[in-house]
């Protein structure tokens, strides 16, 4: 069974700023794109071809305010292994609306056969940008908290939808 991740990517300038932040904490820069997952369809499709066919139907339905500001509210240890940036309340509400719209489009296009998984729908959806993964809070985490503070100095832009079929 195949899955589909629907994400909003951080712009190139902010991609570099996040990597600079990580380097300042003594970490290696990441090659992956930093993003905010809008939804995840877990094991819905029999084949990758079927996944891509559904994606082609879905793409025209997805709209974002371009660019969508992601104002950092805080950095947090979450899900027992993720260090992530969480949005402020205004950004949260915009991402929540994008998530709800995505869920509606998926259900409409699939005639309610498919939906987002529980971790990326309804109350389970916690928009964030993953910085790195680890099992415990260490010096890098505490130093990052000091730098980020309340997040008011840290604004990012989400610029386009991207997709990963697994």
C-alpha 57: how far from chain center: 21
* pLDDT of the residue at 155: 86
pLDDT, position 106: 96
Structure confidence at residue 70 (pLDDT): 94
Tokens representing residue 7 in the block: 């994400």
67: CATH: 3.90.1140.10
Sign of the alpha-carbon torsion through 69, 74, 78, 83: positive
The three-point CA angle 73-77-78 to 5° equals 95
Position 151 scores a pLDDT of: 63
| 91-114: pLDDT as tens digits | 999 999 999 999 999 999 999 999
CA–CA distance, 120 with 150 (Å, rounded to integer):
25
For the chain, which residues score pLDDT lower than 50? none
CA 34 – CA 129 distance, rounded (Å)? 7
* Residue 87: how many other CB atoms lie within 10 Å: 25
pLDDT at 126: 93
Question: What is this structure's pTM?
Answer: 0.89
Domain extent at residue 55 = 2-165
Structural domain tally of the chain? 1
- What is the pLDDT at residue 23? 95
């Amino acid at each position: 069974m195949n899955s589909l991740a629907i994400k909003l990517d951080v712009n190139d300038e902010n991609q570099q700023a996040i990597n600079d932040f990580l380097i300042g904490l003594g970490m290696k820069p990441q090659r992956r794109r930093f993003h905010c997952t809008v939804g995840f369809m877990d094991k819905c499709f029999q084949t990758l071809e079927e996944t891509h066919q559904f994606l082609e139907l879905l793409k025209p339905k997805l709209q974002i305010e371009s660019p969508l500001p992601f104002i950092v509210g805080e950095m947090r240890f979450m899900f027992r292994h993720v260090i992530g940036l969480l949005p402020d309340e205004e950004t949260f509400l915009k991402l929540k609306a994008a998530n709800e719209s995505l869920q509606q489009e998926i259900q409409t296009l699939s005639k309610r056969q498919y939906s987002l998984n529980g971790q990326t729908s309804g109350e389970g959806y916690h928009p964030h940008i993953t910085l790195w993964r680890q099992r415990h809070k260490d010096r890098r985490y505490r130093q990052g908290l000091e730098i980020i503070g309340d997040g008011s100095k840290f604004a990012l832009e989400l610029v386009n939808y991207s997709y990963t079929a697994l």
